[in-house]
Structure 1
Amino acid sequence: MSSTCKSKLSTRKQVSKGAGNRALEMANEVNIDEISRQEESLRTRRSSLGKVRYIDSFHLEAGKVSNINSHVGKDGWIRTLHLAFQSIGIVYGDMGTSPLYVYAGTFPDGITVDDDLYGVLSLIIYTLLLLSLLKYVFIVLWANDNGDGGTFALYSLISRYAKVSLIPNQQAEDAMVSNYKLQTPSTRMRRAQWMKQKLEGSVRVQVALFVITILATSMVIGDGVLTPCISVLSAVSGIKEKATSLTEGKIVIISIVILLLLFAIQRLGTDKVGYSFAPIIFIWFLLIGGIGIYNLFKYDVGVLRAFNPKYIVDYFKRNGKQGWISLGGVILCITGTEAMFADLGHFNIRAIQISFSFLLLPSVSLAYIGQAAYLTKYPANVGDTFYKSIPGPLFWPTFIVAVAASIIASQAMISGAFAIIWQSQSLGCFPRVKVMHTSAKYEGQVYIPEINFVLAVACVIVTAVFRTTVRIGNAYGIAVVFVMTITTFMVTLIMLLIWQTSIWWITLFVVVFGGVELVYLSSVLYKFVQGGYLPLAFAFILMMMMGIWHYVHVKKYKFELHNIVSSDYIRELAQKQTLRRIPGIGLLYSELVQGVPPIFSHFTEKIPSIHSVVVIVSIKQLPIPHVEIAERYLFRQVEPSDFRLYRCVVRYGYIDALEEPKAFERSLIQQLKNYIEEENILRKSDAPRQSEVQLEELNDNTKPRSGSSTVHIEETLEQNILSNETHSSERISIEKSHKIEEEKQIIEKELEKGVVYLVGEADVMAKQDSSILKKIIVNYIYNFMRRNSRQGDRVLMIPRDKLLKVGMTYEI
C-alpha cells in the first residue's frame, strides 16, 4: 500500500470515529440502546475490515478472525513431551516392525560372503540417517500446511501460492482466512516469481502436478493393503520356532484370521489410540533395542565397524548387479517414514523429532546391529533372523508384543488410508462414500465402511497368493520409494516457490536425496514381475478412479459457471405475479460459488413457486486443513433485496467435518441475521454498490491472472474501501434500525415455519460431437461410479423429510 493510501486510511479512521460519535449524540433522543448496540457492532467490524484491505459483503465474515496461529512449534515442553509419547503408538508402528523382515528381504538367497553383512548393515544405518532423520525429520516436516502433513498438504500449500487448482472456484475472500494467510513470495526474487508464473500459466503443468499428487496418495492407500499383510505375516511366522509342525499354509490361515479380525474392529474407531498403542510400541522398542545390545556383546562387537561407509563401496564393488538388486530389501528399513509426515497434524514438529531421535532411531538401529552380530555366527538363519536371535526366556513375550505391534502398524496405515480417501473426496477427487467420524478428540479419525471392506478383501487375497514376506516385500518397496521420490519433488517446488531457498541448497537437496531415492527406485522396479507390479496396479486403478471423477467434476463446474442465471432473469422473476411464495426457508445446494446456478431457474420453471426466503448454499473446500467457524460463512444478497434471495459460501478445510443438519441450520441462520445487520449498517442505500459488482466480476472471471493483474485487482478494491468506508461512518437513522429488526424478524418467523433442502441431481452426458473416449469416460465409467456411490443428500446428511430433489441433465 502506498504512503498516500496509508494517509487516506488514517484520515478516514479519524473521520469515521468523529462521525460515529455525532451519530450517538443524535440518537440520545430516541432508542439510544438500540443505536448504541449497532454502533458498537460497526466499530468491531471496522477494526477487522481494516486488515482485509477492501470491503465487500462477503468480506464482512471473512475478516472476523484475524490472528489464529498454527499449533506447530507453539506448545510448551511438557505438552510436547506428552505428544512425543503419544506419537509412538500412532506414527512408528510400521517402521518399528521392519526388523522382522529386512534381512530376509535383502538376502533371499542367503549370505555368501561375511563382509556382505557389514555392507548391508552400513546401508541400513546410513539409509535411516540420511532419508528418515535428515530428510524427513529435519527438512520435510517443516513443509507442513498449518500443522498438517502428507502429499495433499504439500499440494494445498503450493496451490495457495500459485493458482494450480483445476477447479475455477478461487475467490478473493479465500486469501483472508487466517489459516490461509502466508507470506507472499518477494517480487525481488525473480526465481520465485518465474516459478509462480510457470505454474499458473500452463494447464499441462497443473495437470501434471495433480497427477503426481494422486499418484502419491494412491500409493499410500496401497500401503493400507501391503502393510497389514507383511506385518502380520512376518510376526505370525515366528511361531514356527516353537511349533515346528505348523506348515506355511497354516501360518497363512492364522494371518488371514488376524487380518479379518483387524478389519472387523475398524468400525469401533481409534479414539484414544495414542494412549492405547503407545505403551505397547514403547515396550516393543525397549525389547528390540535390549535384544540388540545383548546380541551385539554376545556374538560380535566388531559389526560396529559398519559405521564406516567404506563397507558400502566395497559391497557394491564385490557384488555389482546383485548388490544393486538387494537394495529392494534394504529400503524396507524405512517403511512408514512417510507416516511421520502424514500424521503430523495430530502432534507437532518437535514431538516427532524428539520421539524419532531419542527412541525409534536408537532402538531399531540396535535391533539391526544385534541381528547382524548374530548372523556373523549363524548366517544360515538369515531367513528368520529376528526370532532366531531372541534369547530363549524372552521368546514368548517378544512374540506376543510383535503380533500386537504388527496389528498396531497395520491399524495406523488403514486409518491413514481412510483419512486420505476422505481428503480426496472433499477435494472432488473420489466418488462419494460414507465417512464416519469415530473420535471427537482426534481430528481425522474416520471410518469408511466401503473402503474397509475393499481393503479387507484385498489383504486376504494378497496374503493367500503371495504367502511369504519376501514376495510381499518386493511390492512394498515400490510403494515406499515412489512416495518418497514424489515428496522430494514437491518439497523442491516449495523451496523454489515459497521458502525461496538458495539455489545451492536446493541443488544439494535434489542431488543427495533425489539421487539416492532414484537408485532405490530403479532397484525395486527391477522386481516388477516378482510382485512389484502389485502397488502399481493398485495405484493405476485408484488413479483412474480419482482422475476420471475429478475430470468430470471440473467439467460440471465449468458448465454451471458458463450457464449462470442472469441478474435480469432474477429481476423479471421477482416481478412475476404467477410465482408463488411458500412459507419457510429454502436451502438450495450448489457447488457453484460464483453467481446463481442454472439449477435455480430449472426449479422455478418446473415448480413455479419458491420459498419466502431462499439461500443458495455452496459447500466449498479450501486448500487448507481447517477453517475457523467464525470465518466459515460468506453471504451476499441477490438484488432486488425484497426478493430475499441470498447466496452463501460455506467454507471448510479438507479435514473439517460437516455439521449435523440441525446445528448447520442454526449456525447458518444466525450468520444470515448477522449479515443482514452488518450489510444494512454499512451501505448508505439499498442500491447495489459498485464495489460488489466489481468484485463479482473479478470472482466470476475464470482465466488465470498474472502477478500484475493481481496488483491491479488489489488497487481497484483498495479504491472501493476508500469510498465505501465513508458510507459506514454516516449516522444510522431510526428507520434503518427498524428495517434491520424487521428483516431479522422475518427470517426468524420463516425459520419457525420450517427449512426445506432443495437439491439438484444433475445427470452428466458427453456432447454428441464428443470423441468416443470421452463418451466412454463420461457416459459409462463416471456414471457407473456415480450410481454406485453415495448421493449428495446422503453425504450432506440432509433429513429425508426435508428434502426436495429436481433432476437436470448437463451435456459437457
Structure 2
Amino acid sequence: MADPVRDGGSKADEVEGEEMTGTRDTLRGRKPSAGKLRRVDSLQMEAGKVSSIRSHGVQVGWAATLHLAFQSIGVVYGDIGTSPLYVYESTFTKGIKDEDDILGVLSLIMYTLILSPLVKYCFIVLWANDQGNGGTFALYSLISRYANVNLIPNQQAEDAMLSNYKLETPSSQLKRAQWIKGKLESSKTAKLVLFVVTILGVAMVIGDGILTPCISVLSAVSGIKQKASSLSEGTIAIVSIVILIVIFSVQRFGTDKVGYAFAPIILLWFFFIGGIGMYNLCAHGVGVLRAFNPKYIIDYFKRNGKEGWLSLGGVVLCITGTEAMFADLGHFNVKAIQISFSTILLPSVSLSYMGQAAFLTKFPQDVSETFYKSIPGPLFWPTFVVAVAAAIIASQAMISGAFQILSQSQALGCFPRVKVVHTSAKYEGQVYIPEINMVMMIACVLVTGGFRTTANIGNAYGIAVMTTEFITTSMVTLIMLLIWKTSIWRIALFYTVFATVELTYLSSVLSKFVEGGFLPVLFSLVLMLIMSIWHYVHVKRYKYELANKVSSSYIRDLAQKQNLTRLPGIGLLYSELVEGIPPIFAHFVETIPSIHSVLVFVSVKRIPISTVEAQERFLFRQVEPKEYRMFRCVVRYGYKDKVEEPREFESLLIEQLQGFIHQEFLFLDSQQTKPSSRMAAEEASIRASNKPGSSAVHIEETLAQQNAPRLSSGSIQPVGVDSQSTNSSGRNIVGQIQGVEEEKQFIQKEKEKGVVYLLGETEVVAANNSSILKRVTVNYVYSFMRKNFRQSQDVLSIPRRRLLKVGMTYEI
C-alpha cells in the first residue's frame, strides 16, 4: 500500500520545482506551460513557490560555532551549573555514616553526569531536533509531520509543500516504520496517549520553571550563614523572596542580550567552582578519584539498602536543567551545545563535586553546608556574590523557557489565550507572558516561604526533572522507530539503559511524595487539566464548524436576497475552519443583511513546524461565483511565529490576494491556450507581469522585441500561425488582461476605503443529551476560562474601532 506521507512529499517536491520553473519563465517574459502549473488544489497556487529557504540546519563555520558555544554558557547551563550548591546536602539528609559512602555518592554523581547530559543529550537527543528547535513540542511536531496524529482535522496537502516541512520520509522497504505509522494514524487512543504524554512533559517543565528559582536562589543566599550564623531560616527565606520578586519584576524588559550579558558571569562561576574543586582535591587528598571505579556504587547500595535507594533523590539533582540543553537548542546549534558542555560545564562541575567529596572525607560533619564551607577564606565573598548572580541567571533561563513553552502550547490550541509579548527581534523564542509571570511569581513566593530549605524543595524538584527526562527518552525512542529507522538492537539498548536509570531515580523521588514531592505533581495536574479541557473543546468546536459549514448553494442564492447590500471596503471574517465557509457567516448575513464589496474568510492556522516563511504564509481560493468577490484565505504560522500587527497583516494579505488573482489568470489561461495561439499567450504573460500603471507603449515594445526573432521575411505574422486566429485570440487575451488589472485595482481601492474585522462571538455549550461530566467541563470550566482569559481580538491585536462581532451558540 502506498504511503500517503511519502506520496505527498514527492508531489510537494515536484510541484515546488514546477512552480519555480514557471516563476522563472514569467520573469523572463515567457509563458509557463500548462504542465508546469499543475496543482492538486487551487489553494496550492501559493503553496510552494520559494526555492531556497534559510534553514536552521545550515552549516556554519567554526568561528560562528565557537561564538554560539560561548553564548550558550549564559543561557543553557545556569541550572545544572548551580547544582553543586545543594546536591550533597540533599543526598546525605541524615549525615554521613561511612567514609566509603562519600565515594559511592561521588561515583553515582559522575556516572549520572556522563550517562544523562553527555551520552544521552549531547550525542543522541540533540539530533532529534525539529530543524534546529528542541523541546517536548519540537518532538511532537516532528512526529506529527511523519504521522497524522493531530487531533484537529485541519491538515491540508499544501502543508507538506512548505520549505521547513520537508523531511526524508520512511522507506517503503521498512515495514516496521510503516506499521508504526499506520497504527498511530488509525488509533485514536494512540493519538490521545501521545498528546497526553506531550502536555505532561510540558507541565513538568513549567513546574521545573517554578522550582528552579526557588532552590537556586535559596541555596545561594543560604551561604551567608557562614558569616552571619545568627540569621534564621525565616530571614534567609525572606531575602530569597525579595530577590525572586525582583527577578520576576524585570521579566517584562526581555532577555534579548541574554547570551552576551550572562555568559561572562556563568563562565566566571565555572572558573570559581572548578578552581575551588581543584584546591580541595589537592588540599584534602586525591584519593576520591577512586570513585571512577563503579564498584563503589554497588558497595554503596549493599551497605545502605533502602536508605541508599532513597538517597538517589538527592543525587538526581546533579542533572537538573539538563533538559535546557535540548529546549534552548533553537538559539544555537548542536555543535555549539556539545562543545560548551564537554569543554566548560562537565569539567567544572565534576571538579566541584570531586573537591567537595575530598573535603567531606576530612569534615563529614559539614555535609549540610558543604559547598560554602569548602571555600578557602579569601574567596568566600567573591564566590558568594557570583553564586547569587549565577542563581539569578539560572532562574531567568527557566522562566524564559516556561514562557516559550506556553506560547507554543497556545499556538497549537492547547492553552487558553494569553498575551504573548515578543521581546526580541533577534531571538524568535524570546517572549514574555504577563499573566503567567504573575502566577509563577506568586507560586515561587509561596514555595520558598513554605519550604524554607533546599532539602525540602529538592524532594519536589527531582520528580519534575526525572518525569521530563523519561518522557523525552520515550518520544526519542518513537522517533528512532518511526523516522530514523535505527536498527532495533540499538533502539532496545538506548531505551533499556536510559529508561531503567530514569525510572529508578523517579521511583526514589516519588517515595518522598508526602515530603514535598506532591508539589510538581499538583502543578502538573492543574496545568494538564487546563490544557486538556481547552484542547478538548477546541477540537469539538472545530468539528462542529466542519459539520455545519455553509453550502455552496447558499452562497449562490445570496444574489436573490433583495435586502442584501454590499458595503464599501474589505471585510475579513475570521474562523478556524480551513475547509469551506464557516457557519458564522450565515449568521452574519441573517443578523446584518449586508456584506462588504470584498470579503475574505480568514483562517489562522498553526502548522507543526517552528516557522513558516513569509513568502509561503498565505493560501487563497476564490469562492464561486466569482462576481461576488469572496475569497478563502488560510494564513499559516509555525509554533514560534509572531502574528503581524493589523496594519502589516492587512497589507501582506491584500498584496498576496492581488498576486493570487494574477496567478489564477496565468493558470486558467494556460489550460485554455492552444498551440495556434501561443503568440497571444506570450502577450498575455508580458502584459500580466507588468504592474498596474505601466504604459501601453512599454508593453507593445516588449511584445515587439519578443516576437521579432520569430517573424518571416515576407510576412508580419509568426511562422505557422493563422493571422485571423492570432488577432482574435490576442483581442480576447488583452481583454482578460484588462479585466485582471481592473480587479486588482478594485481591491486596492476597497482597501483604501477601509478594512473591517468580523469575528464570531461563539458560545460553546454541551448538547442536551451530554453526560454530567461533559456539561460541567464545557458549560462551566471551559466557559470560565474563556471569559477570564484574553479574547481572540486581544490576541490578534485587532483595533476595536474596526471590529464587528456577532454572537452564536455551538452545541457540541
d(CA) in 1 for partners of 2:28, 2:569: 31
Matched, 1:741 2:744: no
| 1:559 maps to 2:540 | no
Equivalent pair of 2:136/2:198 in contact (CA under 8 Å): yes
Question: Equivalent residue for 1:297?
Answer: 282
Q: 1:175 maps to which residue?
A: 160
TM-score with structure 1 setting the length: 0.89
Residue 765, structure 1, aligned to residue 765, structure 2 = yes
CA distance in structure 2 between the partners assigned to 1:42 and 1:113 by the alignment: 85
Maintained 8 Å contact 1:236/1:255:
yes
Do structure 1's residue 74 and structure 2's residue 53 form an aligned pair?
no
Please tell me whether the aligned partners of residues 145 and 157 of structure 1 are also in contact (alpha carbons under 8 angstroms).
yes
Partner Cα separation in structure 2 for residue 72 and residue 125 of structure 1: 32
Counterpart of 1:461 (choices 433, 443, 446) is 446
For the 8 Å contact 2:26–2:32, the answer to whether it is kept is: no
Matched, 1:204 2:189: yes
Name the structure 1 match of 2:234. 249
The equivalent residue for 1:414 is 399
Structure 1 counterpart of 2:481, from 468, 471, 496: 496
Match in the other structure for 1:189: 174
Looking at structure 1, the residues matched to 429 and 418 of structure 2 have their Cα atoms a distance apart, in angstroms, of 16
Counterpart code for 2:668: R
Measured at CA, do residues 281 and 41 of structure 1 come closer, stay the same or move farther in structure 2, by a change above 3 Å? farther
Q: CA deviation at 1:401?
A: 0.3
Residues 1:789 and 2:789 are matched in the alignment: yes
Alignment counterpart, residue 640 of structure 1, candidates 622, 625, 628: 625
Equivalent position amino acid for 2:264 in 1: P
Q: Structure 1 residue 224: deviation in Å? A: 1.4
In structure 2, relative to structure 1, the CA distance for the partners of 1:46 and 1:77 (3 Å cut) is farther
Change in 2 beyond 3 A, CA 1:98/1:684: same
Identity over aligned residues, as a percent? 68
1:263 and 2:241 correspond = no
Shift of 1:46: 8.0
**What is residue 373 of structure 2 aligned with on the other side?**
388
Match of 2:645 in 1: 660
Partner of 1:89: 74
CA distance in 2: counterparts of 1:489 and 1:419, whole angstroms: 22
Which residue among 588, 612, 616 is the counterpart of 1:631?
616
CA distance in 2, matches of 1:71, 1:762: 39
Deviation at 1:75, TM superposition (A): 1.2
1:41 Cα deviation after fit: 7.9
In structure 2, how many angstroms separate the alpha carbons of the residues matched to 1:397 and 1:802? 58
Whole-angstrom CA distance in 2 between matches of 1:292 and 1:231: 20
2: CA distance, partners of 1:137 / 1:595: 46
Superposition map of 1:679-690 within 5 A: 679-684=664-669
Secondary structure of 2:491's counterpart equals: helix
Q: Answer whether contact 1:214 1:543 (CA < 8 A) is retained.
A: yes
Within a 5 Å distance, the mapping from 1:327-726 to structure 2 comes to: 327-684=312-669
- Offset, 1:685: 9.6
Tell me, yes or no, if the aligned pair for 1:434 and 1:790 is still in contact at 8 Å: yes
Q: Deviations over 1:474-504 (max 9, x none)?
A: 0000000000000000000000000000000
Q: Which amino acid aligns with 1:735?
A: G
- The CA deviation at 1:684 is 3.9
Report if the CA contact (8 A) 1:548-1:782 is conserved.
yes
Amino acid at match of 1:438: T
Residue identity matched to 2:513: F
Change (3 A) 1:566 1:306: same
From 123, 126, 135, the equivalent of 2:108 is: 123
CA contact (8 A) 1:73 1:350 kept: no
Q: CA deviation at 1:74?
A: 1.3
Deviation at 1:243, TM superposition (A): 1.0
Structure 2: distance between partners of 1:566 and 1:363: 67
Report the AA paired with residue 147 of structure 2: A
Secondary structure of 2:250's counterpart equals helix
Count of paired positions: 743
- Runs of at least 4 residues off by over 6 Å: 36-39, 44-47
Higher relative contact order (CA 8 A, sep 6+): 1
Deviation at 1:166?
Answer: 0.3
**How many angstroms does 1:72 deviate by?**
2.8
Q: Unpaired runs of 5+ in structure 2?
A: 1-5, 673-728
2:200 is equivalent to residue 215 of structure 1: yes
Do the aligned partners of 2:549 and 2:581 also contact (CA within 8 Å) in 1? yes
CA contact (8 A) 2:209 2:401 kept: yes
Answer yes or no: is the 8 Å Cα contact 1:582–1:611 preserved in 2: yes
> How far apart are the structure 2 equivalents of 1:684 and 1:442?
44
Counterpart in 2 of 1:723? none
Q: Which amino acid aligns with 1:809?
A: T
How far apart, CA to CA, are the structure 2 residues paired with 1:114 and 1:685?
Answer: 85
What is the distance in 1 between the residues matched to 2:568 and 2:627?
Answer: 15
Q: Is the 8 A contact 1:42 1:678 kept in 2?
A: no
User: 2:439 corresponds to which letter in structure 1?
Assistant: V
> In the alignment, is the contact (CA less than 8 A) between 1:299 and 1:373 conserved in 2?
yes
TM-aligned CA distance change 1:210 to 1:177, over 3 Å: same
- Give 1:444 shift: 1.1
Specify the alignment match of 1:100 in structure 2: 85
Letter in 2 for 1:526: S
Which residue is equivalent to 1:713? none
Gapped regions of structure 1 (runs ≥ 5): 22-35, 688-729
CA offset digits 1:146-198 (Å, max 9, x no partner): 11000000000001100000000000000000100101111110000000001
Q: Distance in 2 between matches of 1:434 and 1:45?
A: 46
Letter of the structure 2 residue corresponding to residue 618 of structure 1:
S
Question: Which letter does structure 1 place at the counterpart of 2:172?
Answer: T
| Cα distance per residue 1:45-99 (max 9 Å; x no partner) | 987x5xxx73432112111113325223611111111000000000000000000
1:271 to partner: Cα distance: 1.2
Q: 1:44 to 1:309 in 2, by over 3 A?
A: farther
Taking the aligned partners of 1:45 and 1:669, their CA distance within structure 2 comes to 26
Tell me by how many angstroms 1:268 deviates: 1.1
TM-fit CA distance, 1:575: 3.9
How far apart are the structure 2 equivalents of 1:441 and 1:167?
A: 32
CA distance in 2: counterparts of 1:685 and 1:494, whole angstroms: 43
> Residue 151 of structure 2 contacts residue 539 of structure 2 at CA under 8 Å; is this kept in 1?
yes
How many Å apart are 1:580 and its aligned residue? 0.2
Q: Which secondary structure does the structure 2 equivalent of 1:442 belong to?
A: coil
Q: Which amino acid aligns with 2:391?
A: S
- Contact 2:216/2:392 (<8 A) preserved: yes
The answer to whether the Cα contact below 8 Å between 2:658 and 2:744 also exists between their aligned partners in 1 is: yes
Contact 1:45 1:60 in 2 (8 A): no
Q: Are the counterparts in 2 of residues 641 and 686 from structure 1 also a CA contact under 8 Å?
A: no
Summarize deviations over 1:511-569 as a string: whole Å, max 9, x none: 11111111111111111111000000000000000000000000000000000101111
The residue that corresponds to 1:776 in the other structure is 776
Question: Does the 8 Å CA contact 1:561/1:597 hold for their aligned counterparts?
Answer: yes
Question: Which residue identity does 2:753 align to in structure 1?
Answer: K
> Do the aligned residues in 2 keep the contact of 1:619 with 1:650 (CA within 8 Å)?
yes
* Paired amino acid for 1:451: I
Cα distance in structure 2, aligned partners of 1:317 and 1:45? 77
Superposition deviation, residue 578 in structure 1: 2.4
